[in-house]
Amino acid sequence: MPATRAALVGALALAAAALTATFGGLVTLDTATREWLIGRRSPDLTAVMIALSTIGSSVVLVPLALGVAVWLGVGRHRREASLVVGTTLGAWLLGPLLKHAVERARPEDAHLVLVNSWAYPSGHSLTSTAVLGVLSVVVSIRLTARTARLATVAAGVILVVLVGISRIYLGVHWPTDVLAGWLIGAGWLAGCLLVYEALERRRLVGE
């Protein structure tokens, strides 16, 4: 498992790096996908997409994760609380750092929500992938039924995908911004889980 997790972290990092190096050549695909989604706008769907975008924002996810961490800490699950805090705060900081490093401009038109930062990677996609991912892990390990664990993880994945789509639909991101956010968020999550599992193995050996 550790070797598999490490390989996954490396693969995600390489994929994100490759996308970062080549997104300039994907303008046609970016534009076509964005225009297709924007062409499907309707008042009801826009309301749903704004709600999804809000759910996937740091304003919602960071306090949610910290609240879960406090609950875990009170319940004497301090190591899991540290995992949630570390994964969340790392993702929250990583997004702005990468945005300033790449400095990709957002699409210029058809914005349905206000934005004031660089486009790449999508902070909503990155943060929701990492935070909802770690929360799904924390919840699923407390479930005994396999179907319940799979349903928890599936629900987290679906919500992450919908958050990313909402950012394109609302006109504030290119599809490759969202894809990069997913890749980087998944890589950060996998890395945090790798470290957590290594520390747990060391603790068990020490006991």
Domain that holds residue 127: 2-206
- The confidence score (pLDDT) of residue 43 equals 96
Band of residue 1 on the pLDDT scale cut at 50, 70, 90: low
- The confidence score (pLDDT) of residue 201 equals 79
- The confidence score (pLDDT) of residue 29 equals 86
At 102, which CATH number? 1.20.144
- The confidence score (pLDDT) of residue 125 equals 96
- The confidence score (pLDDT) of residue 11 equals 73
**Closest C-alpha among 106, 112, 103 to residue 37:** 112
Q: What is the pTM of this model?
A: 0.90
- Stretch 178-201: mean pLDDT: 89
DSSP secondary structure of 34-62: HHHHHTT--HHHHHHHHHHHHHTSHHHHH
Please give the structure tokens belonging to residue 45: 């769907």
With pLDDT > 90 as the criterion, what percentage of the chain qualifies?
65
Q: What is the pLDDT of residues 152-185, one digit of tens each?
A: 999 999 999 999 999 999 999 999 999 999 999 9
Report the number of distinct structural domains present in the chain: 1
Residues contacting residue 54 through CB under 8 Å, at least 6 positions apart: 60
Contacts of 154-162 with CB under 8 Å at 24 or more apart are 156/132, 159/52, 159/55, 159/56, 159/128, 159/132, 160/56, 160/125, 160/128, 160/129, 160/132, 160/133, 160/185, 162/52
Q: Are 148 and 139 in contact (CB under 8 A)?
A: no
- Stretch 125-150: mean pLDDT: 92
Q: What residues act catalytically? A: 124, 173
Q: What is the pLDDT of residues 24-70, one digit of tens each?
A: 777 888 899 999 999 999 999 999 999 999 999 999 999 999 999 99
Q: Are 76 and 142 in contact (CB under 8 A)?
A: no
